[in-house]
Amino acid sequence: NRQIRLAARPVGEVKPEDWEHGSEPITEPGPGRFAGRTRVISLDPAMRGWLDDRPSYLPPVGIGEVMRAGSVVEVTASNHPGFQPGDHVVGTFGVQEYVVSDGRGAMKIDTSLAPPSTYLGALGMPGMTAYFGLLDVGALQDGETVVVSGAAGAVGSIAGQIAKARGCRVVGIAGGPEKCAMLTGELGFDAAIDYRAEDVRKALREHAPDGIDVYFDNVGGDILDAALTRLAMHARVVICGAISQYNNATPVHGPSNYLSLLVRRARMEGFVVFDYAKRYAEAAQEISALIGAGRVKVKEHVVRGTVDDFPAALQMLFRGENVGKLVLELA
Ligand code: NDP
């Protein structure tokens, strides 16, 4: 059973030496447990935070522990009444080829409705994040102006499309002309801003002339600053993530112009998707319906390889090399 364990706490960007590539014998499932073979592993920006030894919404991954990761496994043997061989199950099973689980936090998925990877993306944690972040935290109203950063990624691409389906004017911010063309072409965004090539403040003035009602922030840093200068009255700024800051070896660069919240009577609120676990079914149902109706297109970036490819795949997120949900599919 090949596994990726955390060898050292990274400083700044994660380096190859921060990981340990190892293996241990495959074990049989004991009573009340099932064994499974990993099919697809999720790669998430949040993983960077789990490597730091500081208080967060989850304890850090310990040195020497198998790296925490969401994945889909196929059950190979079971002494658990809820899981049969052949079932596909999503859960936090870690970066390893085989798992033995007591079923806690594991959920059977229907691969006749969508491929396993989609349960890590649009119908999984990122989809739930987009849905609750936009509708609950952002209190989105039909027809409003929405700006999404990290718009070509797993969460951002779904958030923008949900807002479009609700009749909103949607502006996406992403890196590079290809991603921007995909946003306005395939995904139907009203406008896209290439933050690498354009002056984001100026572009927001042009594309959100009446101001931003909901800013869904995945990246933080300068782009958050730029969005704060363009808020409409009573705007909602949804702090979903701040990937531009995750590799900082220095303190997080916070918003320099938060007083625009005062002037525009706006609010800024963070959230953690796990708090919505009881309502995931509601979100999954609505997103499935939108997919079925062709109003949400699922973008996935599949890397095919072995667990040993995990460290390099994780880096892709921080280099903007993924389009849509990034997953590692095991051969
Ligand atoms: P993505 O699929 O969006 O991948 C990350 C993307 O971030 C990259 O493709 C890249 O796109 C962009 N990026 C990387 N570095 C920078 C940078 N320095 N400045 C601007 N953009 C950058 O990841 P996810 O959709 O999985 O996650 C998006 C955000 O949502 C993250 O911040 C994550 O932590 C957060 N999140 C929060 C949750 C919550 O409960 N609050 C739950 C799940 C995710 P580009 O080419 O456009 O730069």
Element (H, E) at 235: strand 231-239
Strands 34-42 and 325-330, by their bridges, are antiparallel
**Do 180 and 208 lie in a common domain?**
yes
Q: Mean per-residue pLDDT for 238-261?
A: 93
Query: Is residue 292 domain-resident?
Result: no
Query: Is residue 115 domain-resident?
Result: yes
**Do 51 and 154 lie in a common domain?**
no
Asked if residue 320 has its Cβ within 6 Å of ligand 1, the reply is: yes
Asked if residue 91 has its Cβ within 6 Å of ligand 1, the reply is: no
Q: Mean per-residue pLDDT for 225-232?
A: 98
Statement: residue 254 has pLDDT above 90: no
Write the CATH number for 177. 3.40.50.720
Query: Is residue 149 domain-resident?
Result: yes
Model pLDDT, residue 91: 98
Query: Is residue 90 domain-resident?
Result: yes
Statement: residue 104 has pLDDT above 90: yes
**Do 135 and 248 lie in a common domain?**
yes
Split into its structural domains, the chain has a count of 2
Model pLDDT, residue 63: 98
User: Which among 69, 4, 53, 54 is positioned nearest to 317, based on CA atoms?
Assistant: 69
DSSP string, 245-300: GTT-SS-----TTTTHHHHTT-EEEE--GGGGGGGHHHHHHHHHHHHHTTSS---E
Statement: residue 317 has pLDDT above 90: yes
Rounded Cα distance, 93 and 302, in Å:
19
Binning pLDDT at 50, 70 and 90, where does residue 321 land? very high
**Do 134 and 257 lie in a common domain?**
yes
Binning pLDDT at 50, 70 and 90, where does residue 189 land? very high
Return the CA Rg of the chain. Answer: 20
Query: Is residue 322 domain-resident?
Result: yes
Q: Mean per-residue pLDDT for 78-104?
A: 98
Statement: residue 328 has pLDDT above 90: yes
**Do 93 and 116 lie in a common domain?**
yes
Rounded Cα distance, 84 and 74, in Å:
9
Output the CA torsion 74→76→80→84 (10° steps).
Answer: 70
Q: Mean per-residue pLDDT for 201-215?
A: 98
Ligand 1 midpoint to CA 85 (Å): 35
**Do 111 and 138 lie in a common domain?**
no
Residues 6+ positions from 324 with CB-CB distance below 8 Å? 121, 152, 153, 154, 157, 298, 299, 300, 301
Ligand 1 midpoint to CA 153 (Å): 6
**Do 62 and 185 lie in a common domain?**
no
**Do 131 and 249 lie in a common domain?**
yes
- Of 240, 258, 274, the one marking the end of a domain is 274
Write the CATH number for 108. 3.90.180.10
Strand, coil or helix: 154: helix
Query: Is residue 287 domain-resident?
Result: no
**Do 202 and 166 lie in a common domain?**
yes
285-300 tens-digit pLDDT: 999 999 999 999 999 9
31-53 tens-digit pLDDT: 999 999 999 999 999 999 999 99
Query: Is residue 239 domain-resident?
Result: yes
Statement: residue 269 has pLDDT above 90: yes
Statement: residue 102 has pLDDT above 90: yes
- Residue 223's domain spans which residues? 125-274
Rounded Cα distance, 329 and 310, in Å:
10
Is 0.95 exceeded by the ipTM?
A: yes
DSSP E strands, 29-122: 34-42, 70-78, 88-92, 98-101, 107-109
User: Which among 128, 268, 161 is positioned nearest to 212, based on CA atoms?
Assistant: 268
Ligand 1 midpoint to CA 144 (Å): 23
**Do 144 and 109 lie in a common domain?**
no
Sign of the Cα pseudo-torsion (21, 325, 192, 230, in order): negative
Binning pLDDT at 50, 70 and 90, where does residue 88 land? very high
Binning pLDDT at 50, 70 and 90, where does residue 195 land? very high
Nearest-CA residue for ligand 1 atom 14 is 318
CA 297-168-136 angle, 5° bins: 85
Rounded Cα distance, 177 and 192, in Å:
9
Nearest-CA residue for ligand 1 atom 33 is 241
Residues 6+ positions from 318 with CB-CB distance below 8 Å? 13, 45, 48, 243, 246, 247
**Do 134 and 269 lie in a common domain?**
yes
Q: What average pLDDT does the structure give for the chain? A: 97
Query: Is residue 291 domain-resident?
Result: no
Statement: residue 331 has pLDDT above 90: no
**Do 19 and 89 lie in a common domain?**
yes
Nearest-CA residue for ligand 1 atom 2 is 153
Asked if residue 175 has its Cβ within 6 Å of ligand 1, the reply is: yes
Helix axes 154-165, 125-132, angle to 10 degrees: 40
Model pLDDT, residue 252: 85
Model pLDDT, residue 250: 87
